[in-house]
Structure formats: C-alpha cells, structure tokens
Amino acid sequence: MSNTANKVSVLIVEDEAILAQDISLQLSRMGYEVLPPAHSAIDALKILQGNCIIDIVLLDIMLGEGINGIELAKIINIQYDLPFIFLTSHADKSILEKAKSAAPYAYILKPFNAYQVNIALELGLVNYYKRKQLILEKNQHNTSKEKEDKRTVLHINDSLFLKKENHFEKVVLKEILFLEADSNYTTINTINGNFLYSTVLKKIEGQLPSRFFKRVHRSYVVNITAIKGYEGNTLFINNRKIPVSKNHREKIFNLLPKIK
C-alpha cells in the first residue's frame, strides 16, 4: 500500500511513550498509516478535533492524571463515532466491567505482539461495521440476514475496507471503477488494483451508494463518475470496455451528459 490515502489510519493513545513508539513502528511495517501518538486524553482530543482522517483508535485504559481511557472512549463514541480498541495491562474484573460500559470494538491485554494488534484492528473494524449495519437494519425495519463472505467488505463513511492478503486496505469510493461478476465471484476494480471476493455481485452492490454505482449489465456495476466515454452500447472506463445491456441502456445513457 504505497498510497497513504489507501491505508487504514490509526491513532494510538498511550501514555508510555516508548510503548507507543514501538506500536507505531510495528503498525507502519504492517502497512497502516499511523498518526503521531497522543500521550494523554487532552492530546487525543486535540487530534480528533483537528479534522484529520482517523479510521480507528488504539486506546490505553489508564492514561495517568485527568481523563482516563474509558471516559475518553465514551467521548469518542458520542462525538466522533469511531471504532476504538482498548489496551491495558490490568485484568482486574472491576476495570474490565467499567471498560465494557464504553462498548469497545476489541480488547488487547499487555504484553502483546504485532500479530495480536493486527488481528484486533481487523476485529475492531469488522465489529464497528456490523454494529452500524445492525443500527441501519433496525431503522429500516430490515431483519433479513445473508451469509457473509469470510473476507468481509466493510463500508464505513466514504470508503470500503477491502481484505487483501492479511490486512484491510482502505479504498475511497470514488476510486472504485467498476465491479465485475464471474459466477459466485466478484472482482472490485479500483484505480490502484483489484480485489477478488467469493461473493455474488448483488450483495456488494447493495453496500454501495446507488447515486454513483449503477448496474449496467448482469455482470457489471460501474461508478458513473469513472466513465470516460462511450460508443454504441459500450462504456469506456480506463482501458476497459464495459457492455451495457438492453434492459439498462436507456437509464444509463440518460445519466451521461451530451452535447449535440
């Protein structure tokens, strides 16, 4: 992941500077975009208020004097709606019960290794997405459930978090060019590469904003902002030619501006 815009952005809130730096280095090696660590709740809030892009927070429960990690987590929940993972060396039952009240998306006990942190970050993103989906389904009175692909497609804010090898890669929606179906598999074609999922096209299509992503063929969904031209019943997206079926022709070509 050479493009930092496509990396999952992590904020570490840890009062032990050496530990925070060690975690930062490990996550950077694994392909995450790591912000400069915050060593107190006040520092963390300044970063959060700075309008920088943060996808997930690693948060120590014990932060010395002032606001502790549990209180900070509740603020993050209410004001910023970001997933967070608790870090702690305390396995005390009373502390764990207080931590649960903040509804963390994952939990790591110190000492931990890079593998455990990576798993926790993935779990945190998945749990955050699932919680948002449950809220959405409740609001829409939609209780239907579909079997999920083992490599979940996560739609959070204006991005998809797509599974690639051993990590999630953040892909801004506008960078997705088109989706292509092949039986029960779907390839998500983006500006910076492709992602193959063992999931039918219809399921992933349902997670994309319909104002930008349109079905043009039983095997294709395209990002209409990525269309560079067309000829006959064919759309040009980058160096690919995408067919438009008869059933979708009128709807799709009416969306494209023309000068006669």
Instruction: Dump pLDDT digits (tens) for 139-153.
Output: 655 444 444 444 456
92: CB partners within 8 A, 6+ apart = none
- The pLDDT assigned to 166 comes to 64
Locate the DSSP E strands across 8-141. Answer: 9-13, 33-34, 56-60, 84-88, 106-109
pLDDT recorded at residue 260: 45
Q: What is the rounded distance in angstroms from the CA atom of residue 141 to the CA atom of residue 98?
A: 32
Q: What is the pLDDT of residue 177?
A: 95
- Give the integer Cα–Cα distance in Å for 3 and 242: 27
Q: Which token pair is 122? A: 């993935």
Q: Which amino acid is at 46?
A: K
- Residue appearing with tokens 């970050």: 121
Residues 164 and 107: their CA atoms lie apart, in Å, by 23
| In the block, residue with structure tokens 């993050």 | 76
Please state the CATH superfamily assignment of the domain spanning residues 4-135 in this structure.
Response regulator (3.40.50.2300)
Those residues whose C-beta lies under 8 Å from the C-beta of residue 33, and which sit 6 or more positions away, are 4, 7, 8, 9, 10
CATH 3.40.50.2300 residue ranges of the chain are 4-135
Question: How many whole angstroms separate alpha carbon 9 and alpha carbon 137?
Answer: 27
Question: What local confidence, expressed as pLDDT, does residue 71 receive?
Answer: 92
The per-residue pLDDT for 133 is 67
Mean pLDDT, consecutive 10-residue stretches, the chain (260 aa), reads 67 92 90 92 91 87 85 91 86 76 85 84 84 65 46 67 73 91 90 86 86 93 92 92 92 74
Query: Which residue spans of the chain are classified as CATH 2.40.50.1020?
Result: 154-255
pLDDT of residue 183: 85
The reported pLDDT for the residue numbered 104 is 87
Per CATH, is 154-255 categorized as 2.40.50.1020?
Answer: yes
**Predicted local distance difference test score (pLDDT) of residue 188:** 92
